[in-house]
Amino acid sequence: MKSLARFACAVAVLSFLAGCLESDQQTVVMPDGSGKIVWTVGSKMKEGEKDSGLKMDSIEEMENSSEGIVAWGEPKEVKENGWHKITMTAYFEDISKVKLFDKKGGEKKVMLSFEYTKNGDGGTLVVKDAMMDEMAKDQAEKGPKEEPQTEEAKKFAEEMKAKMKEEMKGFKLSSGVKVPGAITASERFTKTEGRVAAVVLDEKLLMDAMDEKEEAKKTIAGIAGEHKATWTKNEVGADEVEAFKKEMAAAKAYWEKKKAEKK
């Protein structure tokens, strides 16, 4: 199993290989550029299984797969209603310094990075998500699929589609941001409301794309490139800022303790 700190790089592939999978990533940004990234990844357990194979990361994996992260919070693991879910939280002091990597063939590839620009009481956040970009470009480059020519081929194609639909039940991939103010302009996100903008891919959208439905294919192809959210007014109050400072301080204390225990 890949590092959960880099799971966003592989979640789409894992969903097809391992069946039903759900992933949610939200980046929360405070007015000064500090904040946190919260990942929750879940996998449906087969009947009789006690877990899905998801594993917690080691300290080395967390540190080697990221830059700009000042602390990792205590992971949370839940097994209920047939699902196995793990939530991890990474804290940063400057989002523009945050990078998450995937390692292939001994080389690190940046899979997630950000650019934060303040503009008076507002600002702009640019998200560079390589996994989403690759998925979108792959969809855009696909031409019309060839129709099966024989009855046997048609039957096989229908059986494979039915199997894929069954395996994709419950699949959801969401990657979003929560910025300090109500978003006034956004680019390449599929949903925007208030302070939150997100790209959401679910089983219906992917299956519609497989069925050559143009609206679904256009939606997926449209997420290619940098994602951008702009706001003009800060809505984060002093209480919210203070609460986050305490949360990050607690995470730093936990992280230092875990690193000391490792020595």
Residues 36-72: pLDDT tens digits? 999 988 877 776 666 656 666 666 777 778 999 999 9
48, 50, 55, 87, 183 from 82: Cα distances, Å:
9, 9, 17, 17, 37
Alpha carbon distance 217, 208 (integer Å): 8
For residue 261, being part of any structural domain is answered with no
Q: What is the number of domains present in the chain?
A: 1
Alpha-carbon 52 to chain mean position: 19
Q: What is the mean pLDDT of residues 121-128?
A: 96
For residue 91, being part of any structural domain is answered with yes
> What is the three-class DSSP state of 193?
strand
Stronger pLDDT, 137 or 64, i.e. the higher one: 64
Alpha carbon distance 79, 52 (integer Å): 9
What integer pLDDT is reported at residue 83 of this predicted model? 79
Number of H helices and E strands in the chain, helices first, is 7, 14
145 has pLDDT over 70:
no
- Note whether 195 and 235 are within 8 A (CB): yes
For residue 258, being part of any structural domain is answered with no
For residue 79, being part of any structural domain is answered with yes
Count other Cβ atoms within 10 Å, centred on residue 52: 23
- Note whether 183 and 234 are within 8 A (CB): no
For residue 58, being part of any structural domain is answered with yes
What integer pLDDT is reported at residue 194 of this predicted model? 97
Mean pLDDT of the chain: 82
Residue 199 pLDDT level (bands cut at 50, 70, 90)? very high
Q: What is the mean pLDDT of residues 15-26?
A: 65
- Percentage of the chain modeled with pLDDT above 90: 41
What integer pLDDT is reported at residue 73 of this predicted model? 92
Stronger pLDDT, 99 or 146, i.e. the higher one: 99
For residue 262, being part of any structural domain is answered with no
Residue 154: which domain range? 4-253
For residue 38, being part of any structural domain is answered with yes
Alpha carbon distance 259, 252 (integer Å): 11
Two structure tokens written together for 166: 């069954």
For residue 263, being part of any structural domain is answered with no
